[in-house]
A and B are shown apart, each in its own frame.
Chain A
Amino acid sequence: MSQSTLDYESTVNTEQQSLGKRLFSANTLWTGLVLLVLYAVFSIMRPDAFLTLFTFQTLLIEAAVLLVLTVGMTFVIITSGIDLSVGSVLVFAGVVGAQVMEGMSPGGDATGAGAGVIAVGLLATVAAGAAWGLLNGLLIAKAKIPPLIVTLGSFGAALGAAQLLTGGSDVRTVPAQLRDWLGFGQTAGVPHMVILAAVVALHGAWLLRTTRFGRNNYAIGSNAEAARRVGINVTGHLVATYAYVGALAGLAGFMSLAYFGTTTISGHSTDNLNAIAAVVIGGTSLFGGVGTVLGSVIGVFIPAVLTKGFVVIGVQPYWQPIAVSIVLVAAVWLDQVRRRARNSR
């Protein structure tokens, strides 16, 4: 064989794709554009009512709790798992935290509680969420029960446990200081709820994009057997991921306490579906291996903007779930098309 056919000339194109090209091919860009267009359309239709600082602030505040749930959900769905229990774990953790704060307060009324009690309450809430997430993770990764079944079980059980703890009624005394500082507090016009959610999202994006934990998350969702064979601790990673989602659900429960001033036991039955919808609209694949936190953030705001916009332009609010469903189905369909195009190679 002549040397020329075996010439090891450099056949690897080592040039990074240009930023523009990478952005253009990314789903995130397109969903981001959809969000901007929606925002622009509502703003043009009702500049007086929609394009105001107040509307913008409430939009962000109302999305903050869901956003925190969605960051965790992004990690789980990228591993090709699912967590249906986030809303119930949020409630359970909130009840635990609220009762701990009441228990530490004279007369069981936490309204006047100080920073120390609030800090313990925060820890208790996050720990309760993480503990439930850990349980999910162990059942899924160690006992090998499908995530859909485990978290469907937790969806019912965590809510039941919360109701058992309170006897079915909401805990109503939440420290006023907590409500003032986190629930309604602002710094330079930015609500503290929003700052906290942004910190969680930035940390999640950093974890997913740049660390080994994030890399393993993608690898496991892409091909768990391959991950195992190169020595990634798949079981341990999955347990940690579900515990992380649980901890974030706990944090979301604490934010919800601060904002609503009660445990809102019956108010979170569709949080799981809203979080999943946001993640999927944001371009994360239900088959695993693909997704970004930024996409999920956009996915949270598309339904939120639709809701606000419909109210402002006077469309019946019943249209909102229909519009969101169309966006959702379109997002999944796009993902399927992309996968088919790739697998037919």
Chain B
Amino acid sequence: MPLLEAHNITKNYGSVEALRGASFSVDAGEVVALIGDNGAGKSTLVKCLVGAEQPTSGEIVLDGKRVSFDSPTTARRMGIETVFQDLAVAPDLDPAANLFLGREIKRKGLLGALGMLDKAEMRKQAAERFTTFGVTLQSLDVPIGSLSGGQRQSVAVARAVAWASKVVFMDEPTAALGVVQRERVLEVIKRVRDNGIAVVLITHNMPEVQAVADRVEVLRLGKRVARLTDADMSLENLVGAMTGALNQEEAA
């Protein structure tokens, strides 16, 4: 039984049909690459699956139970984390504040009851996390808006990975990364998978897909058109599926 499944998701923005009956599934402990041309609907599908958008129709099944996520908070409570394509970080806050955004550690006792935050503890834990995930930061005290695009992306990845217990969605997490940082993110993805967590990776980089993905699902014009396993993941097949030359699910 797949960990997370979606059946026939549609999503309309006014007259734009971003998703036209897309299906998707991912198992625990596997890395699924979700690929497709620009505008195929990948980001929209992810937003629908994590509660950031409400699908127009269709159903989502988690652990065999039908669910609907009215907000990302609901999805996060069930162990689903996301690196959004636009990152969704607060540029004026420092890396530690972003890592703990919405999940701040409070002080103990009365001061905590008054809402006071334990900044030192969060800073310490954040430094540890960034070190384990290989995020390179010159300073923990600058707003992350002043970091490089790649560093920002690394912080967003570290945040998602730090809190996920079931599924991590990553919408182009390596788009702005240099070679070393990219390798590190791919390592992190593998490590997360080895802990039994499902990883959904969206990327336009085919060598990356071949390097980390256990399976591939292909979206085209708002629908899933192919599911490829390890053996079929040749560049030819991947590109064929994205451009429409190869279509497994037309009849379905």
Contact = CB atoms under 8 A, between A and B. Distances in A.
Among A17, A226, A229, A345: residue with most chain B CB under 10 A = A229
A231 B71 contact: yes
A230 B72 contact: yes
B149 to A, nearest CB: 8
B28 to A, nearest CB: 24
Contact of A14 (B89, B132, B140): B140
Interface stretch (B32-40, B90-98, B198-206): B90-98
Given A215-B93, A223-B88, A226-B87, 6 more contacts: A5-B180, A6-B183, A6-B184, A8-B131, A221-B92, A231-B76
A243 to B, nearest CB: 16
Interface in B115-168: 115-117, 119, 123-124, 127, 130-132, 134-141, 143, 145-149
Interface residues of B, number: 49
A288 B139 CA distance: 23
Nearest to A219: B90
12 contacts: A6-B184, A8-B184, A17-B141, A211-B115, A215-B117, A219-B93, A219-B97, A226-B88, A227-B102, A229-B88, A231-B76, A345-B145
Interface in B74-101: 76, 82, 84, 87-93, 97, 101
A230 B139 CA distance: 24
A345 B147 contact: yes
Nearest to A232: B102
Interface residues of A, number: 36
A5 B97 CA distance: 29
B183 A212 contact: no
B114 interface: yes
Contacts of B106: 212
Contacts of B104: 212, 215
Interface of B: 52, 71-73, 76, 82, 84, 87-93, 97, 101-104, 106, 114-117, 119, 123-124, 127, 130-132, 134-141, 143, 145-149, 180, 183-184, 187
A53 interface: no
Contacts of B91: 222-223, 289, 342
Given A11-B131, A12-B130, A22-B141, A229 B52 contact: yes
A232 to B, nearest CB: 5
Contacts of B123: 14
A6 B184 CA distance: 7
A181 interface: no
Contacts of A187: none
Contacts of A6: 134, 180, 183-184, 187
The 6 closest A-B pairs by CB, nearest first: A230-B102, A289-B92, A231-B73, A222-B90, A211-B115, A222-B92
B97 A215 contact: yes
Given A12-B130, A345-B147, A227 B136 contact: no
A223 B115 contact: no
Contact of A225 (B88, B124, B140, B183): B88
The listed residue with most B CB atoms (<10 A of its CB), out of A8, A226, A228, is A226
Interface string A234-276: 0000000000000000000000000000000000000000000
A13 interface: yes
A210 interface: yes
Nearest to B106: A212
Contacts of A1: 183
A13 B88 contact: no
A221 B150 CA distance: 23
A143 to B, nearest CB: 20
Interface string A1-26: 10001101011111011000010000
A316 interface: no
A14 B180 CA distance: 21
Given A6-B184, A219-B101, A226 B90 contact: yes
Contacts of B146: 342, 345
A110 B108 CA distance: 47
B70 to A, nearest CB: 12
Contacts of A215: 93, 97, 104, 117
**Looking at B87, B90, B143, B145, which has the most chain A CB atoms within 10 Å of its CB?**
B90
B76 A13 contact: no
